[in-house]
Amino acid sequence: MADAPAPACRIDGKAFAEGLRGRVAAAAARLRSDHGVQPGLAVVIVGEDPASQIYVRNKGEQTAAAGMRSDTHRLAETTSQAELLDLIGRLNADPGIHGILVQMPLPGHIDSATVLDAIDPAKDVDGFHVLNVGRLAVGLPALTPCTPQGAILLLRHTLGDLSGLEALVVGRSNIVGKPMAQLLLAENCTVTIAHSRSRDLPTICRRADILVAAVGKPEMIRGDWIKPGATVIDVGINRVPSADPVKAAAGGTRVVGDVAFAETAAVAGAITPVPGGVGPMTIACLLANTYLAACRAAGVEPDVLG
């Protein structure tokens, strides 16, 4: 009787992110002491969305902890698009601000595309401006979206050289799926993007040495879809009813990814948990992008952080 496969290695994104934040803080301190430049990040939030408020507070705390200037602009839900664009214009012109992030989602009366397009591409630490998207696509230096950048760092840390591996990205969003595919191509992977119109998704998944799930559907990717020994990066963050019936009846919830973790971990070689996998990397990479933008603005060669 064949031995059961060993359980997958859990990729500890929380520990890696802590190390990355430490490296960013040390690099920012050197930039300040050697060149008199303190990286500065401005975060703009419009409205009172509770989840966004928590996320923005965490960004501010971690930015300050890294020794960077941290400015948070909290605007009322009724703020007009013109008022928001005026603030972005002032931040674009502020030499002490090297990164600008506008927290999504925005209220319905504000056009997100117009707002993102107004941010100076050199300060677009989210990596969403069309110029940064285009530069990433053609292989030029760019500020890269933080979540896929964090996923790439975890993959390099886990696997080393990614050249020649077959990678599948499930999901084609502008925020994760598409830039994730571009970053994997830059690592010399053979890349497939699957989406809602893909036929026979389980068969496509079983070919992948690397599977990145970014589809936004709780536990959609099943264990028998996974190639034995594959590395699975779960980007999903979904709230579902608690596994405890009593807590569920009282409205209790739990957080799960896009991958059915237990059954996938029995097949994969390595997997990110949810929470504690890709999530912590997002803010760490935001800090790294802010540091990189400050170096570019000062004409200084940045330290290698990844």
Active site residue 103: yes
2 Cβ partners below 8 Å, 6+ apart?
none
Active site residue 59: yes
Q: Which of 59, 123, 178, 227 is catalytic?
A: 59
258 Cβ partners below 8 Å, 6+ apart?
170, 171, 213, 214, 215, 216, 217, 218, 219, 220, 221, 234, 235, 236, 238
Q: Which of 120, 124, 126, 258 is catalytic?
A: 126
Q: Of all helices (H) and strands (E), which one includes residue 71?
A: strand 69-75
Q: Which of 103, 123, 149, 258 is catalytic?
A: 103
d(CA 39, CA 207): 43
d(CA 133, CA 64): 28
In angstroms, what CA-CA distances link 246 with 59, 217, 219, 239, 249?
Answer: 34, 24, 22, 17, 5
Active site residue 124: no
138 Cβ partners below 8 Å, 6+ apart?
none
Terminal-residue alpha carbon distance, the chain? 43
d(CA 239, CA 229): 28
Residue owning tokens 């990189």: 292
Alpha helices for the chain (secondary structure H): 13-35, 50-65, 81-93, 112-118, 130-138, 146-159, 177-186, 201-205, 245-249, 261-265, 279-298
Q: CB neighbours (10 Å) of residue 136?
A: 23
- Catalytic positions: 59, 103, 126
